[in-house]
């Protein structure tokens, strides 16, 4: 570790240490960890580094300890206690899936459809199944005025994180403001009181096939298995239950959007197309949409 209290030298040391352990975003992570310790934003850390302004030795000691943990591939978000998702800063930690940038695109599809429903009818009913930290539900609730969002999570630890985020974001205002109703329950059977009335069902369920162990230690060792593995030989056993629930919940013409792995695009479309309601197809033919990197990452279909 560098001598003295100059932040530029400490950031360089941290970036080098993280690079050596395979962290792809080493410099960014180093700056974010120092920002977390100093209770400032990343821009201020960079300003301090340019000025080579002195930083308190105790803060640097705490920073070094966090760098050691990050070098061991503990998730950055577990160290800072927060994860960015669209315009939100969500509380996360052990026991809940850390929201990913690709899921922001899934949320955008739900947000766009909710806005169309509000424009047409004055309000929108949105359901987020397997909500995890509450990321998608809170994005919809805070970006679509008039959206009434119902979020379902079965796992006790993840539900506790979602409850914390719902309370912190402040969704739940009176009047025509958007709000979030958080329910602890099975995504396959919950919210029976909403059957046939929902405008949008969105989900980022567990979908990783049982043999596909994630490459990154941050995911494999720290994200809860219950949020990763979708069961069945193809990883789509849980998504099948979620899809059947979506068919039950949606009104005719309502939209379903579900995240999946890029290798599951064809299987996910077939899964949606196979749903039957009243002896006929439950959905119009499913389509695949891409994330911002051009990878096929979600299935989208309208309720017949």
Rounded distance, CA 57 to CA 54, Å?
A: 9
Is 239 assigned a ligand-binding role in the annotation?
no
Residues in the chain: 304
Is 206 assigned a ligand-binding role in the annotation?
yes
Listed residue (57, 48, 39) closest to 1, CA to CA = 57
Residues near 101 by beta carbon (within 8 Å), at least 6 away in sequence: 292
Is 153 assigned a ligand-binding role in the annotation?
yes
Is 61 assigned a ligand-binding role in the annotation?
no
Tokens of 252: 């005719």
Rounded distance, CA 134 to CA 151, Å?
A: 7
Is 229 assigned a ligand-binding role in the annotation?
no
The answer to whether 268 touches 289, Cβ cutoff 8 Å, is no
Tokens of 132: 């995890």
What is the SS3 assignment for 174?
Answer: coil
DSSP string, 200-259: EEEE----B-TT---SSHHHHTTS-HHHHB--STTS-HHHHHHHHHHHHHEEEEEEEEEE
Place of tokens 């950055």: 76
Binding-site residue positions for S-adenosyl-L-methionine: 153, 204
Binding-site residue positions for substrate: 204-207
Binding-site residue positions: 153, 204-207
């Amino acid at each position: 570790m560098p001598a003295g209290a100059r932040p530029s030298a400490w950031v360089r040391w941290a970036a080098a240490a993280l690079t050596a352990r395979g962290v792809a975003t080493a410099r960014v992570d180093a700056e974010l960890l120092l920002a977390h310790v100093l209770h400032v934003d990343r821009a201020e850390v960079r300003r301090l580094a340019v000025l080579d302004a002195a930083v308190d030795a105790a803060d640097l000691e705490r920073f070094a300890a966090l760098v050691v943990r990050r070098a061991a591939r503990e998730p950055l978000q577990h160290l800072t206690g927060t994860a960015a998702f669209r315009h939100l800063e969500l509380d996360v930690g052990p026991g809940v899936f850390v929201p990913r940038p690709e899921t922001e695109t899934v949320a955008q599809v739900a947000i766009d459809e909710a806005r169309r429903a509000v424009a047409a009818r004055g309000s929108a009913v949105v359901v987020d199944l397997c909500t995890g930290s509450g990321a998608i539900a809170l994005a919809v609730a805070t970006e679509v005025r008039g959206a009434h969002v119902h979020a379902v999570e079965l796992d006790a630890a993840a539900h506790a994180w979602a409850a914390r985020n719902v309370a912190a974001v402040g969704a739940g205002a009176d009047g025509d403001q958007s709000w979030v109703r958080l329910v602890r329950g099975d995504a396959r059977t919950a919210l029976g009181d909403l059957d046939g009335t929902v405008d949008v069902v969105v989900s980022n369920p567990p979908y990783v096939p049982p043999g596909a162990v994630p490459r990154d230690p941050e995911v494999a060792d720290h994200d809860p298995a219950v949020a990763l593995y979708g069961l069945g030989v193809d990883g789509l056993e849980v998504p099948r239950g979620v899809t059947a629930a979506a068919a039950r919940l949606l009104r005719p013409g309502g939209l379903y959007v579900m995240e999946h792995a890029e290798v599951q695009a064809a299987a996910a479309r077939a899964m949606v197309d196979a749903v039957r309601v009243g002896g006929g197809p439950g959905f119009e033919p499913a389509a695949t949409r891409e994330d911002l990197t051009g990878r096929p990452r979600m299935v989208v279909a309208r309720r017949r």
